[in-house]
Amino acid sequence: MEVYYIPLVVIALYYALYYFFTRNFNYWKKRNVRGPEPMALFGNLKESALRQKNIGLVMQEIYDSYPEEKVVGMFRMTTPSLLIRDLDILKHIMIKDFELFADRGQEFSKQGLGQNLFHADGDTWRALRGRFTPIFTSGKLKQMFGIMHDRADIFMDYVSKKAENNLEFEIHSLIQKYTVSVISACAFGLDLQNLDNKLEDLELIDKLVLEPNFGLEVDMMFPGLLKKLGFSLLPKPVGVFFNKLVQNVMTLRGGKPSNRNDFMDLILQLREMGNVKSANFGDMQTSLEITDDVIAAQAFVFYVAGYETSATTASYLLYQLALNQDVQDKLIAEIDEVTEAHNGQITYESLKEMKYFNKVSDETLRLYSIVEPLQRKCATDYKLPGTDITIEKGTIVLVSPRGIHHDEKYYPKPEVFDPERFSPEEVGKRHPCAYLPFGIGQRNCIGMRFGKLQTALCVTKLLRKFRIEPSKNTKQVLGVDKNRIIIGPENGIYVNFVPRK
């Protein structure tokens, strides 16, 4: 008899689940906000949740599908979120009304690695940003340049040896060797001499952190649940690894700054200054004790945010030089001229003088912005300027830099690589929010100057020695890796390094 109930139970369960996973899907319709039709459970992120497409491409497609809309109502899994397309609204959210949108809405813990600058929110973030901003000034970077330069020389020796046997390189993984050694040296004083021996632990960290895990989707579906349950977005071994690493470095330095002038020294100097109040970020007086856990969390985020982003930027840049030999000619001429004027040395100052390099680098990051989407959480009910729409407290708003950077309204023929888009005249004609590879506003990328510097150093050193040319494996169109949380090339980028005459 009971057996007859089984189909009924299955059907009831099916409907209950279906209801649960679609219960919010009238949310934007009720508010007259247009957007793509969501799918049960996945909302509008089915392809990224199933790892069929990088989330950056999914967001760009949503952006492209609504050219007339200022905002697009969408669903991150089952949670209503809003994609901002209009640049004036974007400016309000990211800059003018920043106080209401300071959070990213990804904080998963107030302890351990959760105290890192990227994931932290609220007072913890304010205190962290206030205290750590001084270690990214131009002056501090200049002091660190020597460490970076040594790493670049080791890298050039490595490449030159390899190039004796084979001109073709897969440049994404190649340049990662350089950025891993730079960040390891600058963030925690680790001198990786043999670039082929990327530490096994660091390989593992790469896998654990930069490959998407389903914690992200759970957090989208049930915002705040992971934090309540004490689950981390980051697997435990990551925390253990960075704590141990930082402990070792601090023990070696006797808990005091050495004379290396790396991030670890700068953080130890900050610690010696004690619990300084900082009111730089908003009205709130915030303070923060720099504990070992706080140091480990920042070492973690500087490492993870620092190496892959710059390696990807440099490899896309070299790829575009291979395809655009005229741009490369002009860039090499500039590098040679400026370097000769500095007695054949590439220095912090000489890199600053390379104006054309900056244009090439800016255009690279327009075409291939790497961190997608940008995200903020609304701290209060908020009427979007210039619309009748009020978003509720707690709503996640998203921005697609890739969508904006490929929008022909701002960049005619967006798929063409043209560094002249970044001449001062052209930049002056554009909306200030039309370019955001490093994000924008008070919560933008804290490591922007560091990232630009290590990319510039690597590329200029390479171009002093080699021309970059297409190889038989150079693709005309690059795919995007589906299995990374940031944008990067699928199956690498192949080019030839041809020694310059």
The annotation places the binding site for heme at 445
Dihedral angle, C-alpha 136, 137, 141, 143, nearest 10 °? -120
Q: At what angle do helices 292-323 and 263-272 cross, to 10 degrees?
A: 150
- Written as six digits, the tokens of 478 are 């690059």
Of 38 and 56, the one with the shorter C-beta distance to ligand HEM is 56
Q: CA 497, 499, 501: angle at the middle one, nearest 5?
A: 145
Closest distance to ligand HEM from the beta carbon of 451 (Å) = 3
Beta bridge partners of 396: 81, 377
For residues 470 and 495, the answer to whether their CB atoms sit within 8 Å is yes
Residue from 115, 181, 309, 320 in contact with ligand HEM (CB under 6 A) = 309
- Of all residues in the shown chain, the one whose CB is closest to ligand HEM is 439
What span, in angstroms and rounded, lies between the C-alpha atoms of 281 and 283?
A: 7
400 to 439, contacts with ligand HEM by CB under 6 A?
437-439
**Residues 350-379: x/- map of binding to ligand HEM (CB under 6 A)?**
--------------------xx--x-----
In the bound state with ligand HEM, the residue whose beta carbon lies nearer, of 268 and 374, is: 374
Contacts of residue 396, Cβ cutoff 8 Å, sequence gap at least 6: 76, 79, 81, 82, 105, 223, 375, 376, 377, 378
Candidate list 446, 456, 457, 485; residue touching ligand HEM; CB under 6 A: 446
Instruction: Read off φ and ψ for residue 73, nearest 5 degrees.
Output: -85, 125
443 lines the binding site for ligand HEM (CB under 6 A): yes
In the stretch 118-147, what mask flags binding to ligand HEM with x, by CB under 6 A? x----------x------------------
Residue 362's Cα: distance from chain center in Å?
Answer: 15
Taking the complex as a whole, the smallest distance from the CB of residue 22 to ligand HEM amounts, in Å, to 30
Whose Cβ is closer to ligand HEM: residue 301's or residue 318's? 301
**440 lies in the site for ligand HEM, by CB under 6 A:** yes
Does position 301 bind ligand HEM by CB under 6 A? yes
Shortest reach from residue 351's CB to ligand HEM, in Å: 15
Looking at beta carbons only, is 127 or 346 nearer to ligand HEM? 127
Residue count at the site for ligand HEM (CB under 6 A)?
24
Binding status of residue 117 toward ligand HEM by CB under 6 A: yes
CB of 32 to ligand HEM, least distance (A): 28
Report if residue 313 touches ligand HEM, rule: CB under 6 A: yes
| Contact yes or no for 117/298 (Cβ under 8 A) | yes
Nearest to 255 by CA among 267, 241, 242, 243: 267
Cα(92)–Cα(99) distance, rounded to whole angstroms? 10
Between the CA atoms of 200, 206, 212 and 213, what dihedral angle is there, to the nearest 10 degrees? 50
178 counts as binding ligand HEM under rule CB under 6 A = no
Give the one residue of 66, 101, 108, 450 binding ligand HEM; rule: CB under 6 A: 450
What is the spatial order of strands in the sheet that 168-170 belongs to?
168-170, 494-499, 466-470
Which segment (58-66, 297-305, 335-343, 489-497) binds ligand HEM by CB under 6 A? 297-305
- Residue 447 binding ligand HEM, by CB under 6 A: yes
Amino acid sitting at position 136: F
- Rounded to a whole number of angstroms, the minimum distance from the CB of residue 304 to ligand HEM is 8
Asked if residues 317 and 361 have their Cβ atoms less than 8 Å apart, the reply is yes
Asked if residue 310 binds ligand HEM (CB under 6 A), the reply is yes
Least distance in angstroms from the C-beta of 41 to ligand HEM? 27
Query: Angle 335-341-347 (CA atoms, 0-180°, nearest 5)?
Result: 65
Nearer to ligand HEM, 27 or 438 (CB): 438
Residue ranges that bind ligand HEM, judged by CB under 6 A: 117-118, 129, 301-302, 305-306, 309-310, 313, 370-371, 374, 437-440, 443-447, 450-451
